[in-house]
Amino acid sequence: MAQGDFLATIRVRLSALTQKAPAKINLFLAVTGRRSDGYHDLVSVAAPLVWGDTVQAELHGDSLSVACDDPAVPTDESNLVLKAANAFRRETGWAQGVRFSITKKIPVGAGLGGGSSDAASALLLLNELSGSRLDGPELLTLASGVGSDCALFLAKAPVIMRGRGERVEPLSKEAYSRLRGMRVLLFKPGFCVPTPWAYARLAAEAPKGYVAEPRAEAMLGAWLSKPGAGAEELLFNSMEKTVFSKFPAIPELLQLLYSRFGIAGRMSGSGSACFLLLHETTVTAPIEATIRDCWGPSALVVETRLS
């Protein structure tokens, strides 16, 4: 290859970068109360999955744009990728135009953090394209301002989340070793649970839907301080009762799966997606068949792993 062709190829590669945008599940989620700013405080352990979206960023003109292969995803200024990109521009002064393309696998309204993950990936791509204008802590602060779940995706490993989700803390090596690489069966019905509705319903039912912060910390601390405690001992979601009262198809299936296969499932975040943690020897075919028998062919069923 001639030197000119080689340099042109390098320039193309540097101007178009791709980043994985994983889904997440909440292994532990205790909502502790509503804040004065309208958000909710929580204590959570969230873990990214191997499975998720893909985000590409390409230098293009002097404006920002986003395209997605899922028509249900908005591509206007309400998209978190564009919110993240505009925040990056304001913070760094870097004004280069970028065209984002999202290959979507994570469904909306699922409690899997798809929009936040895409936004976090966009920040990583912008930082690389701009020559690493922000360091790790600066990116974390910026991500926290874009969306409550964005910060966790920068860690690329399970984290403890506090506040409205912007305060993240890595797990200890020992605790992480209990979760790393676990098999996960992820499944979602054909319907969504709107996150604003779920939290508004929780607030309307206050205080019965909330977990006192000291109790939430004690529950989490008990698992963290018990060496070798299995991941199944961590599972908890205080939003389930509120969501289940409106969407009974979710608890009915989880109860059926437990009675047939002895595996306790959980809802992730505010739903509607749920998950099972699997042993390496677990055969998933009959579990998947049960899910589809109950929720129909529109149900999403994916086997993946914790990162």
Could you tell me the CATH number of the domain that includes residue 248?
Answer: 3.30.70.890
139 plus 231 within the same structural domain? no
- The one-letter code for the residue type at 182 is M
Q: Which domain holds residue 53?
A: 3-173
148 plus 200 within the same structural domain? no
124 plus 112 within the same structural domain? yes
User: Domain holding 103: CATH number?
Assistant: 3.30.230.10
pLDDT band at 5 (very low <50, low <70, confident <90, very high): very low
Q: Quick: pLDDT tens for 114-157.
A: 999 999 999 999 999 999 999 999 999 999 999 888 999 998 89
Per-residue pLDDT averaged across 33-49, rounded? 95
35 plus 184 within the same structural domain? no
164 plus 218 within the same structural domain? no
Please answer whether residues 159 and 152 qualify as being in contact, where contact means their C-beta atoms are separated by less than 8 angstroms.
yes
7 plus 45 within the same structural domain? yes
pLDDT band at 15 (very low <50, low <70, confident <90, very high): confident
* % of the chain exceeding 90 in pLDDT: 89
Q: Quick: pLDDT tens for 196-220.
A: 999 999 999 999 999 999 999 999 9
pLDDT for residue 78 is more than 50:
yes
User: Does 62 qualify as catalytic in the annotation?
Assistant: no
**Parallel, antiparallel or unpaired: strands 16-34 and 40-59:** antiparallel
Q: Average pLDDT, whole number, for the chain?
A: 93
162 plus 213 within the same structural domain? no
Number of domains the chain contains: 2
Given 41, 53, 118, 149, the catalytic residue: 149
Residues found in the chain: 307
* % of the chain exceeding 70 in pLDDT: 95
Q: Quick: pLDDT tens for 64-77.
A: 999 999 998 999 99
Where is the domain boundary, 124, 141, 173? 173
pTM over 0.85: yes
pLDDT for residue 255 is more than 60:
yes
Q: Quick: pLDDT tens for 84-109.
A: 999 999 999 999 999 999 999 999 88
Q: In a 10 Å sphere around its CB, with 0-12 CB exposed, 13-18 middle and 19+ buried, how is residue 28 labelled? A: buried
What distance separates the 2 farthest-apart alpha carbons in the chain?
A: 70
pLDDT at 14: 58
195 plus 268 within the same structural domain? yes
pLDDT at 127: 97
Given 24, 83, 104, 188, the catalytic residue: 24
pLDDT for residue 9 is more than 70:
no
pLDDT at 130: 95
pLDDT at 97: 96
User: Does 149 qualify as catalytic in the annotation?
Assistant: yes
pLDDT for residue 4 is more than 60:
no
Residue 63, token pair as written in the block: 């404006």
pLDDT for residue 7 is more than 70:
no
190 plus 283 within the same structural domain? yes
pLDDT at 148: 82
Per-residue pLDDT averaged across 27-41, rounded? 94
pLDDT for residue 10 is more than 50:
no
26 plus 116 within the same structural domain? yes
Where is the domain boundary, 116, 147, 173? 173
- 3-class secondary structure per residue, the chain: CCHHHHHHHHHHHHHEEEEEEEEEEEEEEEEEEECCCCCEEEEEEEEEEEEEEEEEEEECCCCEEEEECCCCCCCCCCCHHHHHHHHHHHHHCCCCCEEEEEECCCCCCCCCCHHHHHHHHHHHHHHHHCCCCCCHHHHHHHHHHHCCCHHHHHHCCCEEEECCCCEEEECCHHHHHCCCCCEEEEEECCCCCCHHHHHHHHHHCCCCCCCCHHHHHHHHHHHHCCCCCCHHHCCEECCHHHHHHHCCHHHHHHHHHHHHHCCCCEECCCCCCEEEEECCCCCCHHHHHHHHHHHCCCCEEEEEEEC
169 plus 182 within the same structural domain? no
C-alpha–C-alpha distance, residues 10 and 123, integer Å: 22
Where is the domain boundary, 138, 173, 208? 173
218 plus 149 within the same structural domain? no
pLDDT at 226: 96
| Bond from prior residue into 272 cis (ω within 30 degrees of 0) | yes
